[in-house]
Amino acid sequence: MKAAVIDYNMGNLGSVVKALTYLGAAPRVVGKPAELELFDRIILPGVGNFGDGMEQLRTLGFDRAFVKAREEGKFCFGICLGMQMMLEFSEEAPGVPGLGIFPGTCRKFDATPAKVPQIGWNTVRFNPDCPLGKGLGDEPWFYFVHSYYVPLAPFTAGVASYTTEFSAAIGEKNCFAVQFHPEKSSDSGLALLRNFLSLQESGR
């Protein structure tokens, strides 16, 4: 199966491509929005600042293309910053609109008493009906690096805790995202990516 990995100059592309290749997904790094038409699975990775990320997406035209792909029923997946940019706003960049696929604003962790950013392994409790968590057990471990988080919401698909409970995974229908880095999360991360890649075959 073909999978597009969006290159907007802010993603950890190498590790994502390596993981997808291992799973047999034939990934291709794309730098032009028009290329997304060729794929039925689209991945938006991301590392860095919300404002910078949205500026890069808009400059390249990927903001409109990604939302369009999702509306057309393509299977979309966000990683870390890619997840945060699916919301409307973030405290990291006040006034900068996100993609607006999901409502809400990303918040910054309270630095008391924990250290911010959260860097390291943490467990996730997936909703029973979340296809990403299929076969992963009750509380699989994943690798996180982030200072901002998505609050719990109706579209929360998985929960983790660090100073507060937050959305470790979000999604509905054909669009999902995770705050952690599955490409750096060993067997659990590979299993989750495999679940995403098999969504169409399993009827979502």
Q: What DSSP string describes 129-163?
A: T-GGGTTS-SS-EEEEEESEEBPP-TTEEEEEESS
Task: Flag whether the pTM goes above 0.85.
Answer: yes
User: What's the confidence (pLDDT) of residue 204?
Assistant: 40
Instruction: Find the catalytic residue in 106, 130, 146, 183.
Output: 183
Clarify whether 181 is annotated catalytic. Answer: yes
Q: What is the pLDDT of residues 58-112, one digit of tens each?
A: 999 999 999 999 999 999 999 999 999 999 999 999 999 999 999 999 999 998 8
Of the listed 35, 72, 80, 139, which one is catalytic?
A: 80
Class of domain 3-197 as given by CATH: alpha beta
Q: What is the pLDDT of residue 200?
A: 74
Q: Does residue 80 have an active-site annotation?
A: yes
Instruction: Look up residue 24 and give its DSSP letter.
Output: T
Q: Is 139 a catalytic residue?
A: no
Count of other CB atoms within 10 angstroms of residue 144: 23
Cβ distance 77 to 41 under 8 Å?
yes
pLDDT beyond 80 at 201: no
Q: Confirm if 49 and 84 have CB atoms less than 8 A apart.
A: no
Catalytic residue, chosen from 92, 130, 175, 181, is: 181
The full set of domain ranges for the chain reads: 3-197
